[in-house]
Amino acid sequence: MGKEIERKFLVKDSSYKNLCSGKLFKQGYLLSNLDKTVRVRLIDNKGFITIKSKINDLVRDEFEYEIPFTDAEEILQKICEKPIIEKTRYTYNYKGHTWEIDEFHGENEGLVVAEIELEDENESFEMPEWIGEEVSSDIRYINFYLVKNPYKNWNK
């Protein structure tokens, strides 16, 4: 069984863009609530289906499988909840850890969040200077929630 242990942070500025390149992601949800999600995702010319179940705010069981691109594309268009999440994901290696920075587009334009995946919930790590406030326990920043309540609708 796969486990995902991640912490999520806001990003203070766009200096990360000078350090790495990004890929466009499109993803949608077939099932989405706090306890479990089923997601379909397109990355470049590949499709994936991912099933997650919550253990706590930082840890989830995770199962991900590649599926045919055309199937994933059709599921996104015809079956997934709307709006579809669109984002550019940047990957940055910093002091022994990989950071994934998601710059959202469309209904969530203006939101930029960084995640770090860990081996253990209590693992220590150093943060790049552009990392801001931690939002790991704030439901508003979970991707499936951004479908239900897009960033553009928040009272900022």
Q: Are 34 and 54 in contact (CB under 8 A)?
A: yes
At residue 101, what are phi and psi to the nearest 5 degrees? -105, 120
Q: For tokens 């951004």, name the residue.
A: 146
**Residue 29 falls in the annotated catalytic set:** yes
- Annotated catalytic residue, options 29, 90, 92, 141: 29
Residue 15, token pair as written in the block = 């200096």
Apex CA 92: angle with CA 86 and CA 93, to 5°?
150
Q: Which residues are CB-neighbours of 6 under 8 A, at least 6 positions away?
A: 58, 115, 116, 117, 118, 136
For the annotated catalytic residues, the residue numbers are 29
